[in-house]
Chain A
Amino acid sequence: MTISTPMLQPAWRALRRLLPMLVLTFPMAAEEDFFALDEVAEVDEQPALQSFIDVGAGLLDAESFAFGRYSGLTGEGIVPQFDFRWQYRPPWDGEETGYWVVEGRRLGQDNRLIDAEIGRQGNQRLSLAYREMPNHRYDDGVTPFRRDGSGVLLLPTDWSAGTGTGQMPLLEASLRDQNIDHERWRLDLSYSRLFGGGWQFDVDYRREVKDGSRLVGGVIGNSGGNRRSALLAAPVDFVTDIVDASLHYSNDGYQAGLGVQASRFNNRQTSVAWQNPFGAVGGWAAGAGFPDGLGRTSLEPDNDFVQARAFGAYDLSPTTRLSATLAAGRMSQNDAFLPYTVNPALEAPLALPRADLGGRINTLLADVRLSARPLPRLRVSASYRYDDRDNRTPRDLYAPVRGDSLDQVAPEAGRLNLPYSYTEQRFSVDTRYRLASRTRLNAAYTRTRKTRDFMEVRRMDEDTLRIGFSWQPLASASLGLDYIRSDRDGSAYDGNAPFLAGHVAGTVDPEDPLDFENHPLLRKYFLADRVRDEARIRGDLYPSPVLGFGVQISLSRDDYNGDFFGLTDTKVQSYSADATWTPLANVTVSWFYSQDRFDTEQPGRNFRGGANKGPDSANPERDWQVGTDDRTHTAGFDVSWQDVGDSLNVGALRDLSIGLDWIWSRTRSRIDVDSGAAIDTAPLPELSTRLIGFGLHGDYRLRENTTLRLRYEHERYRSRDFALDGISPEAVDAAGRVLGFGVASPRYRANWVTVSVRHRL
């Protein structure tokens, strides 16, 4: 490596001396010197490692969170560009094994990344990876709330409340801008050590900090009729630490290992409280409305997880292999409970049954697999998997204060928590048989049994059969077909099971046909009986070594029993094609297109409560039917052309490389609603998004080690969403029951230009 800038040469020389010393001082386990080096022939030159520094600037002409959602490029102006890679590898035929590399990407942007690694190859390795991942959601939000030092979101001192947003005269004047965004900072530190004889030790530590804001709904009220909600900007302040260590042994015929993973999640903001912007509403207790009324919602509690695992694989014979994994773990959560209500004006005489949840879920996962080739043409794989989530969280009776709007309920109106557990067992056999050198049949059968607590279906069995065929008529062409049928069948569906289990015994009459929560004809789709048919077709064609085509079609249908409410039918159709062309050794062209369609059918019945519950719930004229039709089209095209002048035999362009990227995506969602004679419906507007982006990239080699790089990108995005567009904070609901946030669906047009100079070191 050389560096030609005079100012940098002294520093470069010093570093060149220093870094190899660092490598040499890196501790080293027992070296194996079994191989002699002197028999290896001389090679003229080792390829350059492409250490470089890249400095420049970018210019953005748009203000858009949507454009910069993950890039951090959210505002107009100039953004510094700084990338580098600096590395050392010893001469390939030397006796040294120490190496290091450090690399930074997009250091001038909010999605920067730094990787560093140092080690002795074949011996040990220490690496560090740092990533910043922004997530910019809304830059057009407005809210009347202000955060004070106590953590309570407060309204302006002159706030004038009403029972609906239409009766808040100072609302518009009180609104101020509020962005919703957060950023993740993630640090991964890994160490790996190879010992002699096949032993290896790995340890990884990750710390992830997530900081920013998010939207939460703050509701006050005790029924659907008197609910009043405000969308709030709540803090995000998470820290997650994960340690994963393992020791394993590997040899020609077997591998085995032990490992442990520990995770600790810490939320430094476990609740958000707000001043109620609504005045007294009928059905609320005195003191629940403005100015004294307060609401508080919990945010995610801290939690811990620890898991020990053992794994291994053994070659029973040259054609038969057995592998297994056993993992036992525990999730736990014991954050101190918040009080039943944050509002001191409300009476809550019943104490909490415990100071914290004492939540605990024991996990056990066992996975045993056998793969074999009993005949030269036959491959068989069989597996058994046991996955148990045993929720040992104590069950207690809690007497809530409903929505910080009424005094505490009587004990008999309290609710019992439902610590859901499940056990899943899966047995699977997969076979492949080669009929001829280029033709293969495959078949697989999977049986899954899942048992659950406190849910509508206690036991669910699913049988899945897959048959397939693949054919390669030519070395340059292949075709694959697969058909899969799954039949899911559960024990009797008891729609009231969780409802009864969550209430105090005797307060709900299981014999009363009207004492139900969900309509008796509802079948929750993840528990309902279902037949799934799926077909997949894949074709590849390589008419020449420089040209390739691929086609994939995937069709699937989920058929639930249409006599019930809930999801009854789902169809997914996906058609994709791609092509790659390499007309010259230094030119690549690729293209792809996909079309996806997702259709669902979902009937339901509108029914009221009280005296109307019986007649309504039995009245088919109150039925409604929703059909959704989601369609997506995506296409992309890119070209890379290295050393343009060489290809065209034009000397002036010899040092030029160019590239083109183009991406296009269009989505459309249609929701059709139909209903019986007793209720009214009207068509919904269509939802849509449209994205088009393209980029032109050019690199021009100014000198042997110096390249001028130019990038121009243009992106346009439009979307239409009836839930957001034109919905001002006071206009979310005709009755003014929700104080909204005012965000619209994103729409932007952005141009992004960067100029940088890359210097190879």
Chain B
Amino acid sequence: MRAFRRWHEALRRAVVAGVVLAAAWSAGEEPGAYARGGVQACLDCHDAASDHPADQVLSTVHGLAADPRSPLAGGGPGCESCHGPSAAHVTRSDDGSRPPPDRVFHRGIAAHQRSEVCLACHQDSGRVHWHTSSHQFEDVACSDCHRIHQHRDPVLDIETQAQVCFGCHLRQRAEFNRPSRHPVQGARLASRVSLMACTDCHDPHGGSGPSELVRGTLNETCYDCHAEMRGPFLWEHAPVREDCSVCHAPHGSQHEKLLVSRSPWLCQQCHLAQFHPSTQASGLDVPPRGRSDLVLARGCVNCHTNVHGSNHPSGVRLTR
């Protein structure tokens, strides 16, 4: 195993050295050549005042030359590590025009071509499921979400991440503005600040669970913050054990507690027993025509308070 590691390390260094030497050898050449001047040549134009500023990359993880994994690592091709050999972009063409860099990352370029640049380095365990993820299959590229030239990538900040996600997930943005919601926002208003990020529950790079959840199942994801619901309980409520979303809309609802519908009608979708469980609730049960605890206050939960399960020996009806 040790010999294998030595060979592997030697091979890896040889490949990297080959790339670097090839870059150095080809610098100054015609199309396909690397530019002279390294990072300085790029940032002379792409400074803070540019329409395409890139100067902040020097304050990001990608811009630390002492980290050998960084695109700007010493002796490497710098910006052209990602943008490809772009000498022609730096020097202008004979007709005075400036051709684009070898690789650019706007939406006109196929997503897989943009992402493969990132994936050439980012092959760590967080990318195990990327190739079968929804984003990859929907042609979402890394650069659609990440802003690697910015000192603070908005998608990595708890307070700004949701705005990035909502750029595509319009329906989810509306759901998070409903009266009952998880505190995921994106607006700058004090009452609507994000205390959670989308990535608290979802892994945008793909996961082993449904809907790219961070845990293997929906319930396991919910238990991360609602561990009290895990049980097991003596008296289980069957749908609770199986799937929280049978009753709850996790992004937001117009009904209390993120419920998909109100009590008693939500409960009556599965409970239609003699007497009060099958009693129709209507305007006769609310003022001014009447009052019924089946509808008013908390409805069924006025009595059946342990709807997620009970550990009380007398709690078979989830009232204890």
Contact = CB atoms under 8 A, between A and B. Distances in A.
B302 interface: yes
A122 B72 CA distance: 13
The 4 closest A-B pairs by CB, nearest first: A594-B174, A37-B74, A682-B283, A576-B170
Interface in A380-412: 381, 383, 385, 387, 389, 391, 393, 398, 400-404
A470 B111 CA distance: 14
A484 B210 CA distance: 17
Contact of A524 (B72, B241, B262, B270): B270
B106 to A, nearest CB: 9
B232 A360 contact: yes
A452 B236 CA distance: 14
Interface string B23-50: 0100000000000011111010000100
Contacts of B229: 300
Contacts of B269: 524-525, 566-567, 602
A624 B223 CA distance: 37
Contacts of B254: 630, 632, 667, 669, 687, 689
B242 interface: yes
A641 interface: no
Nearest to B276: A224
Interface string A217-243: 111000011010101000000101010
A369 B209 CA distance: 12
13 contacts: A36-B74, A39-B75, A47-B59, A95-B66, A296-B312, A296-B320, A327-B208, A341-B314, A357-B233, A398-B316, A420-B241, A667-B178, A687-B254
Contacts of A369: 129, 131-132
Interface in B165-208: 166-168, 170-171, 173-175, 177-179, 183, 187-193, 195-196, 208
B58 to A, nearest CB: 4
Contacts, number: 519
B58 A727 contact: no
Interface string B300-320: 011111101011111110011
A90 B60 CA distance: 11
B187 A252 contact: no
Which of A105, A404, A502, A738 gathers most chain B CB within 10 Å? Answer: A738
Interface stretch (B5-13, B84-92, B97-105): B5-13
A267 B297 contact: no
Interface string B222-243: 0111011111111110110111
Contacts of B167: 550, 578
B125 A257 contact: yes
B64 A97 contact: yes
B48 A47 contact: yes
Contact of B195 (A111, A576, A577, A726): A111
B55 to A, nearest CB: 5
Contact of A607 (B38, B179, B274, B302): B274
Contact of A663 (B129, B187, B304): B187
Contact of B170 (A47, A592, A724, A733): A592
B250 interface: no
Contacts of B13: 34
A464 interface: no
B87 to A, nearest CB: 14
Interface stretch (A18-26, A279-287, A305-313): A305-313
Contacts of B243: 526
B57 to A, nearest CB: 9
A225 B158 CA distance: 50
B306 A731 contact: no
Nearest to A596: B174
A447 interface: no
Contacts of B196: 133
B316 A37 contact: no
B70 interface: yes
Contacts of A296: 312, 320
Contacts of B124: 200, 248, 250, 255
B71 to A, nearest CB: 11
B280 A673 contact: yes
A191 B243 CA distance: 32
A738 B63 CA distance: 65
A335 B311 contact: yes
A190 interface: no
A550 B171 CA distance: 12
Interface in A579-612: 585, 592, 594, 596, 600, 602, 604-609
B290 A734 contact: yes
A67 interface: yes
B83 interface: no
A311 B203 CA distance: 16
Interface stretch (A3-11, A142-150, A515-523): A515-523
Interface stretch (A169-177, A698-706, A715-723): A715-723
Contact of B67 (A121, A231, A518, A554): A121
Size bracket of the B interface: 35 or more
Which of A35, A70, A229, A752 gathers most chain B CB within 10 Å? Answer: A35
B130 to A, nearest CB: 9
Given A92-B58, A255-B124, A565-B272, A418 B236 contact: yes
Interface in A638-677: 638, 659, 661, 663, 665, 667, 669, 671, 673, 675
Size bracket of the A interface: 35 or more
B58 A371 contact: no
A46 interface: yes
Contacts of A196: 9
Interface in B117-134: 123-125, 127-129, 131-132
Given A605-B272, A606-B280, A41 B313 contact: no
B216 A327 contact: yes
Interface string B259-292: 0011001001111111111111111101101111
Given A240-B227, A592-B173, A393 B293 contact: no
Contacts of A419: 232, 236
Interface string A603-642: 0111111000100110000001010101010101010000
Interface string A671-694: 101010001111111010101010
Contacts of A695: 187-190
A692 to B, nearest CB: 11
A422 interface: yes
Given A37-B75, A576-B174, A723-B286, A71 B233 contact: no
B144 to A, nearest CB: 12
B140 interface: no
A126 interface: no
A133 B195 contact: yes
Contact of A609 (B39, B69, B274): B274
A486 interface: no
B299 interface: yes
A331 interface: yes
B14 to A, nearest CB: 11
Contacts of A251: 8, 123
B271 to A, nearest CB: 7
Given A35-B73, A576-B174, A682-B283, A303 B227 contact: yes
B170 A552 contact: yes
Nearest to A267: B228
B246 interface: yes
Nearest to A135: B183
Interface string A26-43: 000000111111111111
A669 B265 CA distance: 13
A219 B233 contact: no
Given A402-B314, A574-B171, A683-B283, A636 B187 contact: yes
B170 A577 contact: yes
Contacts of B67: 97, 121-122
Which of B238, B279, B284, B316 gathers most chain A CB within 10 Å? Answer: B238
Contact of B283 (A227, A476, A554, A685): A685
Contacts of A385: 208
A727 B314 contact: no
